[in-house]
């Protein structure tokens, strides 16, 4: 007689959310400790006698990029992996790590390309956001935070050759696409679906968290819509690789565009100032919605075929 194999049930969604929060907190503590070590190596004991130096610390760009990679792995990827381990599940099945199909990858590619104009319009409108007078203090805080973020981004995006382009594609496109999708779509969206029992609500909640965590509030809405798009791609295709691919395309496009502008000696801000006719935005919106519908239908067909083969 063969022994009966016991199957451990998953924890309640709230417990999973608390576990994930604990793992993220541990990752943040490690990153803070790592940053202090680097500050100490750059400034010596003076940093402890003069804490005001912390406000003016500037890492070299290579060191900053290494910190960004470490942050992505420690704060996003490893907590998501740890959650699957502590839940007693294989990573492959817990996060739907399935081999992608070329036809769906092509649809995702066209979807991301066609959505560029309408997302650009959303970003332009978001930049014009104005707060009421009693919230001016909040607007000023957000504007200052946005300027600091823009300065850091421009410094990181400085590329003089193909080598710099490839490094930035790895640091800003490949690593975030993998790490952020595993935690925001793979872990958080999965938890919220079980918690609220409504996939649409769960997808938009996860997208809101995804957008908020970047602390760039004048780009909140385009990132919110992007997060929701990634969420629906993951929910329909049942494979995280499609949303990783979509995330990579979004970030990679911005990096390649920045590289092109620098090679042409054009200011990076000019990329945001490019506008098209109103019907261009309308066509973009229609094509984007049509491709979403096509992706959904093709994904349902593929999933049905896979179930019939089992």
Mean pLDDT of the chain: 86
What pLDDT is recorded for position 54?
Answer: 52
| Mean pLDDT calculated for residue range 193-205 | 95
What pLDDT is recorded for position 6?
Answer: 46
| Mean pLDDT calculated for residue range 20-49 | 81
| Reported confidence tier of residue 175, pLDDT bands at 50, 70, 90 | very high
| Reported confidence tier of residue 44, pLDDT bands at 50, 70, 90 | low
Name 66's Cβ contacts closer than 8 Å, sequence gap at least 6. Answer: none
Share of the chain above pLDDT 90, in %: 54
Q: State pTM to two decimals.
A: 0.88
Q: 254 near 150, Cβ under 8 Å?
A: no
| Mean pLDDT calculated for residue range 229-248 | 96
What pLDDT is recorded for position 105?
Answer: 96
Above 70 in pLDDT, residue 56?
A: no
Helix locations, 9-115, DSSP H: 13-43, 46-49, 61-71, 78-86, 91-94, 102-114
| Reported confidence tier of residue 125, pLDDT bands at 50, 70, 90 | confident
Give the lowest-confidence range in 1-5, 179-183, 190-194, 249-253: 1-5
Better-scored residue on pLDDT, 3 or 100: 100
Above 50 in pLDDT, residue 155?
A: yes
């Amino acid at each position: 007689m063969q022994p009966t194999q016991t199957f451990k049930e998953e924890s309640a969604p709230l417990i999973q959310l608390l576990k994930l929060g604990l793992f993220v907190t541990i990752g943040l503590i490690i990153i803070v400790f790592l940053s202090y070590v680097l500050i100490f190596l750059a400034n010596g004991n003076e940093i402890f006698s003069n804490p005001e130096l912390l406000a003016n610390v500037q890492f070299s760009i290579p060191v900053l990029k290494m910190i960004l990679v470490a942050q992505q792995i420690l704060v996003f990827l490893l907590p998501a992996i740890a959650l699957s381990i502590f839940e007693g599940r294989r990573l492959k099945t817990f996060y739907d790590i399935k081999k992608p199909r070329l036809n769906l990858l092509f649809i995702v590619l066209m979807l991301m390309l066609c959505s560029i104009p309408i997302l650009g319009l959303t970003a332009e409108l978001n930049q014009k956001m104005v707060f009421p007078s009693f919230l001016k203090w909040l607007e000023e805080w957000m504007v200052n935070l946005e300027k600091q973020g823009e300065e850091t981004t421009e410094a990181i995006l400085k590329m003089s050759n193909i080598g710099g382009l490839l490094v930035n594609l790895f640091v800003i496109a490949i690593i975030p696409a993998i790490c952020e999708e595993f935690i925001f779509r793979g872990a958080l969206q999965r938890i919220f679906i079980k918690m609220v029992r409504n996939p649409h609500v769960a997808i938009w909640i996860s997208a809101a968290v995804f957008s908020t965590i970047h602390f760039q509030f004048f780009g909140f809405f385009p990132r919110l819509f992007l997060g929701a798009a990634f969420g629906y791609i993951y929910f329909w295709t049942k494979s995280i690789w499609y949303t990783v691919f979509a995330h990579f395309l979004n970030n990679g496009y911005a990096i390649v565009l920045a590289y092109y502008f620098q090679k042409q000696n054009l200011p990076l801000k000019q990329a945001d100032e490019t506008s098209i006719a109103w019907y261009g935005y309308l066509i973009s919106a229609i094509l984007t919605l049509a491709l979403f519908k096509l992706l959904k239908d093709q994904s349902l067909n593929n999933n049905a075929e896979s179930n019939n083969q089992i």
